[in-house]
Amino acid sequence: MSYPNEIKNLINRHYSLLRNEDVRIENERRAHVFENVAGYRELTAEQARISAQAARAALGGEPADTGKRAALADELKELGRKQKQLLKENNIPEDYLEPYYHCPLCKDTGFIAGKPCTCSWQLIISQLYRYSNLTSLDEQNFDKLDMSLYPANVKHEAGGWSVRDLMEQIVDVCKNYAESFSTENADSLLITGNTGTSKTFLSGCIAHRVMDRGYSVLYLSATDAFSTLRQSTWAFKDEDSEDEEIDRTNMLFDCDLLIIDDLGTEPATAHTASYFFRLINDRLVAKKSTILTSNYTPDLLRRTYTERVVDRITSAPYMHLCTTDGVDFNVRHALKNRS
């Protein structure tokens, strides 16, 4: 999973504060025991002295030191037994002076073997939502998708499928995509169709579920995406550049799932196709997933972005979904009226 530096830094600060709190609690507990449990401080001092002797004997490495090391180990064991006995006599748990962690699973690091611990999950997800650049995300949820909004009596030309039949299949594909999403492959989607046929809504539903599973998502309109690419290519970056702007540029290439909405609405320039090819190709090479939505047909995309670009986004690992196959039904407007 790839997280932007802004989120990594926030998580690191959060758990750094927790570890500082751990140390404070440990010191307070030790001070409490030393002050209230007679003889415990002296046992601890003796334990430290014998531990130092044992360390010196171990460094010596002489055969004659073997017996001495064993004797010192027995002494340390006995001191530990006496310490536990003193704690028990004073109604203090035996592990009271063990290292303290708010989360014993990750020891207050937030991660286990490079993966988020359960204790950091909600914090990470809340930050992923904030960072994703998606608005009204609560509305973009598979649970809120009402299939009755799609006409069952409107047929499209081939196959005799109704609009609802087709959309049910497309929604199933999108749900499966979100549930099986993984950084181990670059499975991507190209969603095309007329305005108002749920392309943005479906990509938002996928983003919602993918972020709930702890993956990083960045949503950008085509205009914002190409603007960011243009600035990253030509703009001079100095030490005063905004960290968030640099982070957003990096995440275009590094986030687990990139969503570019309304491809084809960005202002066209002489470099548009080259920007797009660089982004798509680099993410394919890095095995990063991308979702593209557009009102354009593949033929119109080809005329706009060149053959080699469209070859990348109309073949594996991309899957092409065409919403309602030309039926212009404004589901977004209907959803708004029914909310």
Given this model, what pLDDT does residue 132 score?
Answer: 84
Higher pLDDT, 305 or 270: 305
Specify the pairing of strand 257-263 against strand 318-322.
unpaired
Identify the CA nearest to 324 among candidates 157, 103, 184: 157
In this predicted model, which residue has the larger pLDDT, 148 or 156? 148
Task: Judge whether 75 lies within some domain.
Answer: yes
Per-residue pLDDT at 305 exceeds 80: yes
User: Taking 90 as the threshold, does the pLDDT of residue 86 lie above it?
Assistant: yes
Select from 56, 89, 122 the last residue of a domain. 89
| pLDDT of res. 188 | 94
Strands (E), the chain: 111-112, 115-116, 188-192, 217-221, 257-263, 289-294, 318-322
How confident is the model at residue 329, as a pLDDT? 42
Mean pLDDT of 222-242: 68
Query: HSE on the CB side for 266, CA within 13 Å?
Result: 28
* Spatial separation of the C-alpha atoms in residues 77 and 79, rounded to whole Å: 5
- Tell me the DSSP string of 80-137: HHHHHHHHHHTT--TTTTSPP-S-TTTTSSSEETTEE-HHHHHHHHHHHHHHT--SSG
Half-sphere exposure at residue 200, Cβ-oriented, CA atoms within 13 angstroms: 20
Clarify whether residues 10 and 61 are in a common domain.
yes
Residue-wise pLDDT for 250-266, tens only, equals 888 889 999 999 999 98
**Residue at which a domain ends, from 89, 121, 155:** 89
How much is the pLDDT for 233? 67
> What percent of the chain is helix, strand and coil (3-state, nearest 5)?
60, 10, 30
**What is the reported pLDDT for 62?**
58
Residue 228 has pLDDT above 80, yes or no: yes
* Residue 327 and residue 252 share a domain: yes
Residue 97 forms part of a structural domain? no
Tokens matching residue 200:
């943005």
In a shared domain, residues 315 and 183: yes
- Is 287 within the bounds of a domain? yes
Residues 67 and 146 in one domain: no
Instruction: Verify that 136 and 84 share a domain, yes or no.
Output: no
* Domain membership flag for residue 101: no
Judgement on whether residues 183 and 254 belong to the same structural domain of the protein: yes
Q: Specify if 267 maps to a domain.
A: yes
The total domain count for the chain is 2
Residue 116 lies in a domain: no
Task: Among 37, 58, 89, give the residue marking a domain's end.
Answer: 89
Domain of 46 in residue numbering reads as 5-89
Q: How far apart are the first and last CA of the chain?
A: 35
Q: What is the pLDDT of residues 42-64, one digit of tens each?
A: 999 999 999 888 888 777 665 55
Q: Provide, rounded to the nearest whole percent, the portion of the chain with pLDDT above 90.
A: 37
C-alpha–C-alpha distance, residues 274 and 260, integer Å:
16
User: Are 218 and 75 members of one domain?
Assistant: no
Banded pLDDT at 157 (limits 50, 70, 90):
low
